[in-house]
Amino acid sequence: MSGRISGRREHHGVIVHEESWPAIIPASDSDRLRELLARRPGMPRADSCRYLISGIFTCGNCQAGLYGQATRAGSLRYACTRAPGLPGCGTLAVIAAPAETRARDLALTALDGPDFLAAPITATSGNQTPAGEIIARLRDADERREELARDWAAGEISRKEWHSARDEITAVMDKLTADLSRTRHSATLASFAAAGGSVWDRWETMTTGARRALMKATVAAIPVHPAAGRRWNPARIGTPLWRA
């Protein structure tokens, strides 16, 4: 249950700092374990999976990471934490729900561009073949798989023919995905590129852990600016620093 085995500093069950020391297991594995074990009766609550963008949001005043926490009233927010051993100034916080929605919209809008995925995958995978070329082949294979399903639905091919052809296309897609997957970040992006449907449809089918992995693979940091009033202003969420 401890966040420290994934290299992260924890305070009252909430992850407050990433990459504090060398990790024994990946953060994504730790999040899945914490979420699973927290469901058992008598186990302490693990909140890391509740906060999609902990450590990705950064303070507009001091540039330290913002981490999720619950207020006394029970609402969720991201805050710059001032505490011994942490670099934060403690002067900035933002309500979690609208901030996450804005960050998601910025990320998915970028991912919806035809060439965006190629840049971060190329930067993290070290492949010789351009990532854009592999992604184009993945999309072509996915279109052929959808056409195949339509042919079967129309009665133009038998179920056996559909299974055989689908398995061949799936094998090609698996090979292309493996070609893209050389690091944890590139593997996440490659899996997202290989999925069917729009980027918004894919997001809806993803677990919180998978969404967080996608955000971390896509975005290095998202600045959060100080509030200029009591009403929510989407402009508080600044332009992301893309990993590409």
Q: What pLDDT digit, counting tens, does each position of 81-100 carry?
A: 887 767 789 999 999 999 99
Share of the chain above pLDDT 90, in %: 21
Residue 44's pLDDT is what? 47
Across 33-37, 58-62, 193-197, the highest mean pLDDT is recorded for 58-62
Q: How confident is the model at residue 125 (pLDDT cuts 50, 70, 90)?
A: low
Q: How confident is the model at residue 8 (pLDDT cuts 50, 70, 90)?
A: confident
User: Average pLDDT of 206-218?
Assistant: 83
Residue 108's pLDDT is what? 93
Give residue 10's Cα distance to chain centre: 20
Please answer whether residues 21 and 6 qualify as being in contact, where contact means their C-beta atoms are separated by less than 8 angstroms. Answer: no
> Which residues lie below 8 Å from residue 134, measured CB to CB, with a gap of 6+?
127, 176, 179, 180
Helix, strand and coil in the chain, % to nearest 5: 50, 15, 40
User: Average pLDDT of 197-205?
Assistant: 87
User: Average pLDDT of 231-242?
Assistant: 93
Token pair, residue 74, equals: 């029970």
User: Average pLDDT of 228-243?
Assistant: 91
Beta strand residue intervals within 1-145, DSSP E:
9-11, 14-17, 57-59, 67-70, 76-79, 93-95
Residue 233's pLDDT is what? 94
Q: For the segment 35-56, what is each residue's pLDDT rounded down to a tens digit?
A: 666 555 555 444 445 678 888 9
Edge-first strand listing for the sheet containing 219-224: 57-59, 219-224, 241-242
What φ, ψ does residue 59 adopt, rounded to 5°?
-70, 130
Please answer whether residues 49 and 35 qualify as being in contact, where contact means their C-beta atoms are separated by less than 8 angstroms. Answer: yes
Residue 167's pLDDT is what? 83
Least confident of 60-69, 102-111, 116-125, 228-237: 116-125
Token pair, residue 124, equals: 């993290």
> Which residues lie below 8 Å from residue 23, measured CB to CB, with a gap of 6+?
5, 6, 7, 8
Q: For the segment 10-20, what is each residue's pLDDT rounded down to a tens digit?
A: 765 666 677 77
Residue 130's pLDDT is what? 60
Q: What is the mean pLDDT of the chain?
A: 79
User: Average pLDDT of 187-209?
Assistant: 81
> Which residues lie below 8 Å from residue 108, measured CB to CB, with a gap of 6+?
199, 200, 203
Across 66-80, 104-118, 229-243, the highest mean pLDDT is recorded for 229-243
pTM over 0.75: no
Q: Cβ atoms within 10 A of the Cβ of 24, count? A: 11
Please answer whether residues 213 and 188 qualify as being in contact, where contact means their C-beta atoms are separated by less than 8 angstroms. Answer: yes
Residue 145's pLDDT is what? 80
Single-letter code of the amino acid located at 206 = M
- Alpha helices by DSSP H, listed for 127-182, are 131-153, 159-180
Single-letter code of the amino acid located at 5 = I
Single-letter code of the amino acid located at 88 = G
The kind and range of the H/E element at 194 are helix 184-194
More confident residue, 241 or 213: 241
Which residues partner with 16 through β-bridges? none
